[in-house]
Chains A and B, each alone.
Chain A
Amino acid sequence: MSEVAQLQLIGLSIVGSGILILLFIKSQFVRVTGFVAIVLGLFALTALSVPQMASLPPAEEKFDIATVKTPTDLAAIGQKIFFSKGQCALCHSIGPSESARCPDLKGIGAKLSREFIFESLTQPQAYVYLDYRHEGLPKEYPARMPYINKDPIGLSKNEILSVIAFLQQMSGEPISVSPSELDVPGQAPAAPVKATESAPLAVAQAQ
């Protein structure tokens, strides 16, 4: 028996007990207790009848550089990050979507250079327009692209490059990110990371 079924059974028992109390017990306090039990049991049963979605922490993706042999491997990792740790799909779609709150990324790898994408992810307020559908004066509450290299998302340079590889691949472009550009743990970075900001972990940006 699943956990939900077990809990439903408990809920039903509580509602049943409440009904029995109301039918057979005369003490007013106990009757009110039975009534409250019925209300709470019905509430639990209602909550158990809606879709059950738990929020699991994002899996700690182990970026094993040894497994990355080709740019396609990199794009495969990027795809995973796009839909999980990167939380990109929370706002962006690939292709038109009613529920997308931010620009459709279909073909973005063909429209923008990899440097521009990198900058858009790590310095989103540099060039990315605050609210892409908005025209006219700046707004008080613009849709804001978060800093992807900072918490709470906090992608590493390797992870960001993988996402760029994925965006290029799904746009039908040749992948311009090479596995040799990845930082190897324990070694100094191969090249300075362009347009990356570092910030103390404990400092969150005030609005």
Chain B
Amino acid sequence: MQQRGGSIQRMFRALDGHGGWLVGLLLIAGYLMLPSIGLAAEGSAKGPTEYRDIPYIGSRNLIWIVAQLHLLLAGFVLGVPIFAWLCEVVGWKGGEKRYDKLAKEFTKLLTSSYATTALFGGILLFLLVAFYPKLMNYLTDIFFPSFLVYCLLFLLETATLYLYWYGWDAMQDGGKKTFHVFLGFLLNVFAFFIMIVPNSWATFQASPVVIAEGTDIQRAWAATWNPTWWPVNIHRLIANVVLGGYICGAYAGIRYLSAKNPEERDHYDWMGYVGNFIGVFGLLPLPFAGYWLMREIYQYNQQMGITLMGGFLSWLFILQAMLIGVLFLGSNYYFWLGITYRIPGAEMKYRKPMLWMLIILLLCLGVWMTPHSLVASLEEARKMGGTHHPLLGVFGVMSAKMTVANLMILVTFMSFVMYWRAGKVETAGWAKLARAVMGAVLVLASIAVIVLGVWGYFVPAIIRINYFSTSQVLIVLFVMLAITPLTALLLKSARTTTEMVWGRMPPRAGYALVLNATMVILLMTLMGYARSSSRVHWHVYGVMRDSSPYAFSPALGSAAVLMALCTFSFCMLVAFIFWVATMGDKAKAGHGGSAKGELPHGIPAMAGGAPHQHRQG
């Protein structure tokens, strides 16, 4: 006991410093908890402890919740710098100060959310070491060199974040601003590496490739460069941008709903627009990254691919389709509301296209959500002539799903272009030709995507996967890469007929933004469950078997309840972080007696005061 007390004192001394008390308390709680957890340890008589458990909640569920919250916070912490840096660059290059202020507003959140993420990372590490000592020992043996790299990256990231945040006002002009933008870039580079190092540990568990010989570094490197590492890296990078964008949107949505004056409404309406835009910007290529990941999984191990897409997890992909469908609908709906309320006069012009887009999106969602095979009674199956419905069964296969996913991306892209062009008249001499070319590209691409989809039914799966689906993806990417610069060129010389009016959106726009963020978070929790469950009863697939009582994947229903719990907890955590980060600003604004009062570091209370200049009526 005395020895334990001495250790605690040493821990206190080691953690002496700003903010260390919180981590210290956590360390002590974990340290004191270990012996009691040990009471539930298994296999102590036969050899080293392999697992520990805790009553009621169970070790696996606790790890699940903490790991999920840590991952979501990490996604937020890595997504926000991308979002903030993009805004800063737009403000720097375009000269619009409101973007710089928005970037700063979000960077301020980073300091508190960074600490919270690290806190959950610490809790997760303690719990993993306590509950899964055998697995952690095995992983440490392989990945020890990358643990050190991870620590170093954290130091670099922290130092860069301090410089980036505290140097914001001091580095506003000339070369200093360039350096500040470079710091933001550096922050994102370190953040990217902080993401991909632990990704290697998680992906190794799913697709292990171990070289038993060689130095520690060689073994770690071989294990790191496993088949699903890069697909997961790219998928998570894009997903983090989406998360950052939509959370910004949700924050703006809530502030918009509770805005007390027109300036606040203007500002948060604009912020919601920016958040939704960045979210959609990331959302469009995300399915392609997901497709690449699934393809690599199939290539690595067909059984794992089948478990995911055709085995007990197949219904999960119907839920995923539902969530993505709602996300696409929510994002488009927000664009359509923007056209209707922010651009007076545009509603009549775009009402019909919007209606058609809605119909296409709903039809596509219906197809995407059609299950491959139905759970039917023997009599029902006999009537249908098998487990596949004679008509709907055609829509349940990948060929149909890939086609509608691509069509939904195209529709969303066109919503964005429509919003972009609304309220402007192109004056360039070649405008008519450009519009005709864009229309032709869109129509031909849609036809090509549908033809390839239908043709996919008549060729072997491998030809469809390798050539047809890839071609569909490339066609949609081509459309986006062709139409975006063409529209930008076209609008450069365009005449604005109707100025954008901010602060007029109905309350349901705020709720749409909250809905989108909730969908993204739910999707992340759902796919986390899928990734983990695809390993079935293995800690490290095919290498280390899970022999704990929790070596099973729970059914979707009970898993969904945990996912909902994690999503709700994360939302509350983020709300808390936002509240804490803006508490000082509100107090200052209150002392100033006006919502327009100056905030610390010279930020006007309403970052992006520009919108109200365009306010009409």
Within 8 A of B (CB), among A179-207: 200-204, 206-207
Among candidates A3, A55, A133, A142, residue contacting B553 with C-beta atoms closer than 8 Å = A55
Known A-B contacts A91-B306, A151-B542; A52 and B568 likewise in contact (beta carbons under 8 Å): no
**Segment among B54-62, B492-500, B557-565 that sits at the interface with chain A:** B557-565
**Segment among A36-44, A71-79, A162-170 that sits at the interface with chain B:** A36-44
Within 8 A of A (CB), among B509-560: 510-511, 514-515, 518-519, 522, 533, 536-538, 541-543, 546, 551-560
B555 contacts A54, C-beta separation under 8 Å: yes
B319 contacts A46, C-beta separation under 8 Å: yes
Q: Report the Cα distance A57→B546, complex, angstroms.
A: 9
Known A-B contacts A32-B254, A54-B553; A47 and B462 likewise in contact (beta carbons under 8 Å): no
Known A-B contacts A28-B254, A36-B518, A152-B541; A43 and B462 likewise in contact (beta carbons under 8 Å): no
Known A-B contacts A40-B568, A90-B303, A152-B542; A98 and B386 likewise in contact (beta carbons under 8 Å): yes
Among candidates A37, A53, A201, residue contacting B543 with C-beta atoms closer than 8 Å = A201
Within 8 A of A (CB), among B192-225: 208-212
The smallest C-beta distance from A56 to any residue of chain B, in angstroms, reads 5
Q: Report the Cα distance A109→B522, complex, angstroms.
A: 49
Residue B421 lies at the interface, judged by CB distance under 8 Å to chain A: no
The smallest C-beta distance from B503 to any residue of chain A, in angstroms, reads 16
* Best-surrounded residue of A11, A40, A58, A87 (most CB of chain B within 10 A): A40
Q: Report the Cα distance A144→B313, complex, angstroms.
A: 21
Q: Name which residue of chain A comes closest to B304, CB basis.
A: A152
Q: Report the Cα distance A51→B555, complex, angstroms.
A: 9
Residues of A within 8 A of B26 (CB): none
A203 contacts B315, C-beta separation under 8 Å: no
A57 contacts B254, C-beta separation under 8 Å: no
B568 contacts A7, C-beta separation under 8 Å: no
Residues of A within 8 A of B567 (CB): 40
Within 8 A of B (CB), among A116-172: 131, 133-134, 139-144, 146, 150-152
Q: Report the Cα distance A68→B294, complex, angstroms.
A: 43
Residues of A within 8 A of B318 (CB): 50
Among candidates A143, A200, A204, residue contacting B542 with C-beta atoms closer than 8 Å = A204
A54 contacts B551, C-beta separation under 8 Å: no
* Best-surrounded residue of B302, B323, B465, B546 (most CB of chain A within 10 A): B302
Q: Report the Cα distance A46→B322, complex, angstroms.
A: 10
Residues of A within 8 A of B511 (CB): 32, 35
Known A-B contacts A141-B462, A207-B299; A54 and B552 likewise in contact (beta carbons under 8 Å): yes
A55 contacts B536, C-beta separation under 8 Å: yes
Residue B300 lies at the interface, judged by CB distance under 8 Å to chain A: yes
Q: Please, how many residues of chain B have a CB less than 8 angstroms from a CB on the other chain?
A: 69
Give B293-315 as 1s and 0s: 1 = Cβ < 8 Å from A's Cβ atoms.
00100111111001100111101
A203 contacts B518, C-beta separation under 8 Å: no
Q: Report the Cα distance A58→B546, complex, angstroms.
A: 11
Residue A48 lies at the interface, judged by CB distance under 8 Å to chain B: yes
A54 contacts B543, C-beta separation under 8 Å: no
B557 contacts A4, C-beta separation under 8 Å: yes
Q: Report the Cα distance A203→B542, complex, angstroms.
A: 9
Q: Name which residue of chain A comes closest to B323, CB basis.
A: A43
Known A-B contacts A47-B319, A53-B315, A54-B552; A141 and B542 likewise in contact (beta carbons under 8 Å): no
Q: Name which residue of chain A comes closest to B255, CB basis.
A: A28
Residues of B within 8 A of A29 (CB): 254, 258, 575
Q: Report the Cα distance A150→B303, complex, angstroms.
A: 14
Known A-B contacts A7-B561, A37-B568; A202 and B466 likewise in contact (beta carbons under 8 Å): no
Residues of B within 8 A of A44 (CB): 557, 560-561, 563-564
B561 contacts A54, C-beta separation under 8 Å: no
B462 contacts A131, C-beta separation under 8 Å: yes
A52 contacts B556, C-beta separation under 8 Å: yes
Q: Report the Cα distance A201→B540, complex, angstroms.
A: 12
Q: Report the Cα distance A131→B510, complex, angstroms.
A: 53
Q: Report the Cα distance A39→B13, complex, angstroms.
A: 46
Q: Report the Cα distance A74→B299, complex, angstroms.
A: 35
Residue B571 lies at the interface, judged by CB distance under 8 Å to chain A: yes
Give B67-78 as 1s and 0s: 1 = Cβ < 8 Å from A's Cβ atoms.
000000000000
* Best-surrounded residue of A7, A37, A144, A204 (most CB of chain B within 10 A): A204
Residue B471 lies at the interface, judged by CB distance under 8 Å to chain A: no
Q: Report the Cα distance A54→B313, complex, angstroms.
A: 9
Q: Name which residue of chain A comes closest to B374, CB basis.
A: A51
Residue A106 lies at the interface, judged by CB distance under 8 Å to chain B: no
Among candidates A32, A58, A146, residue contacting B537 with C-beta atoms closer than 8 Å = A58
A35-B514, A143-B302, A207-B300 known; 19 new pairs, CB 8 Å cut-off, are A7-B557, A7-B558, A32-B253, A39-B515, A40-B567, A40-B568, A43-B563, A44-B564, A46-B319, A47-B319, A47-B556, A47-B559, A50-B557, A54-B312, A133-B460, A141-B465, A146-B301, A146-B302, A206-B227
Query: Can you list 6 A-B pairs, Cβ within 8 angstroms, ordered by A?
Result: A29-B254, A32-B510, A56-B552, A58-B537, A141-B298, A204-B208
Query: Which residues of B are at the interface with A, using a C-beta cutoff of 8 A?
Result: 208-212, 227, 253-254, 257-258, 295, 298-303, 306-307, 310-313, 315, 318-319, 322-323, 373, 375, 386-388, 460, 462, 465-466, 510-511, 514-515, 518-519, 522, 533, 536-538, 541-543, 546, 551-561, 563-564, 567-568, 571, 575
Q: Which 9 A-B pairs have the closest CB atoms?
A: A47-B560, A57-B537, A152-B542, A48-B557, A28-B258, A52-B555, A40-B564, A55-B553, A151-B542
Query: Which residues of A are at the interface with B, using a C-beta cutoff of 8 A?
Result: 3-4, 7, 10-11, 28-29, 31-32, 35-37, 39-41, 43-44, 46-48, 50-58, 87, 90-91, 98-99, 101, 131, 133-134, 139-144, 146, 150-152, 200-204, 206-207
